[in-house]
Amino acid sequence: MTAAGIPAGAAPGAALAARARDLLAFEWIKLRSIRSNYITMLAATAVTLGATAVVAHALGATRAHQQSLPITPVTAGFLGYAEYLVLPLSVLAVLQFTAEYSTGLIRTTLAAVPQRWTELAAKIAVVGAAALAIGEVLAFACFFLTQAILSGRHGGLSLDAPGVPGAVLAGGCLVCICALTALGLGAIIRHTAGAITAAVAVIYGVAVLCLALPAPWKADLGRFTIAFAASQVLARHPQHNLFSPAASMLVLFAWPAVTLVAAGLVLSRRDA
């Protein structure tokens, strides 16, 4: 038997599968063994659901979805969601790298897994899966909570209404996209405060700056930001001056892809 518990004559495929399983288990243990992660997620969940209920009540009271405002029974369910769930999860994703650098644990991690692209892939898999699961569960929870409140005022939508299933699924996916982008920034910057600042700037700040630009620069540049693209894929009636929902989804996927590739290059070329 080898030190990893794999028979010496095992096929390379079996050894590789066992290695991947052990590495994923290693990253999962690091993620779930920190008590503050659970506290943060419970607080974020409670605040997200509470904010969703407040927005839904306000929407039902004013019937804003019947006016020419960019708030609909679908997007109303994600106003609190985007603010109070995306940011805490992005911060936790940043900490998956920066906390290891600040404590020196990264040296142990990279000594156990010298292949740095492999280590990055394991963190991507664990953080991405956790963020996607949490995001989808709360996306559907926020949607159903909003519609339950609005239905009492005859303004709700069913899940099978045109455009609604895709918007809700995209809302859950948005959390994963932002978390993976933040994870990549954490690997690149390695400093918690700096990486969180960069994540906030990428997720929110760039879009806010675009809002201050005159037309048509606001839409021309804003369509490439996470916030603008997210609003387009969540909208039941997309805006004509932005990319289509499908193209906007590609923009969203491009952000973590580019960030994580850059993170992999940085990890492979510098010391811990």
Average pLDDT over residues 2-18: 57
- Tell me the pLDDT band of 1, cut-offs 50, 70 and 90: very low
Q: What's the domain range around 23?
A: 12-269
**In a domain? residue 149:** yes
- Letter for the amino acid at 33? S
How many CB atoms sit inside 10 A of residue 224's CB? 17
**In a domain? residue 72:** yes
**In a domain? residue 231:** yes
Number of domains in the chain: 1
Question: For position 17, what pLDDT does the model report?
Answer: 78
**In a domain? residue 254:** yes
**In a domain? residue 104:** yes
Query: Which range in 8-12, 36-40, 61-65, 248-252 is most confidently predicted, on average pLDDT?
Result: 248-252
Query: Which range in 51-55, 58-62, 145-149, 189-193 is most confidently predicted, on average pLDDT?
Result: 189-193
- Tell me the pLDDT band of 229, cut-offs 50, 70 and 90: very high
**In a domain? residue 116:** yes
**In a domain? residue 1:** no
Q: At what angle do helices 116-151 and 245-269 cross, to 10 degrees?
A: 150
Q: What is the pLDDT of residues 119-139, one digit of tens each?
A: 999 999 999 999 999 999 998
Secondary structure of the chain in HEC code, one letter for each residue: CCCCCCCCCCCHHHHHHHHHHHHHHHHHHHHHCCHHHHHHHHHHHHHHHHHHHHHHHHHHHHCHHHCCCCCCCCHHHHHHHHHHCHHHHHHHHHHHHHHHHHHCHHHHHHHHCCCHHHHHHHHHHHHHHHHHHHHHHHHHHHHHHHHHHHHCCCCCCCCCCCCHHHHHHHHHHHHHHHHHHHHHHHHHHCCHHHHHHHHHHHHHHHHHHHHCCCCCHHHHHHCCCHHHHHHHHHCCCCCCCCCCHHHHHHHHHHHHHHHHHHHHHHHHHCCC
Q: What percent of the chain has a predicted confidence (pLDDT) above 70? A: 85
Average pLDDT over residues 150-167: 77
Question: For position 158, what pLDDT does the model report?
Answer: 79
Q: Are 22 and 4 in contact (CB under 8 A)?
A: yes
Q: Which one has a higher pLDDT value, 58 or 9?
A: 58
**In a domain? residue 32:** yes
Q: Residues 180, 237, 57, 42: what is their CA dihedral angle, to the nearest 10 degrees?
A: -10
Q: What is the pLDDT of residues 61-106, one digit of tens each?
A: 775 444 444 455 566 666 666 778 899 999 999 999 999 999 888 8
- Tell me the pLDDT band of 241, cut-offs 50, 70 and 90: confident
Q: What percent of the chain has a predicted confidence (pLDDT) above 90? A: 46
Q: Is the pLDDT of residue 18 over 50?
A: yes
Q: At what angle do helices 35-62 and 86-103 cross, to 10 degrees?
A: 160
Mean of all residue pLDDT scores within the chain: 85
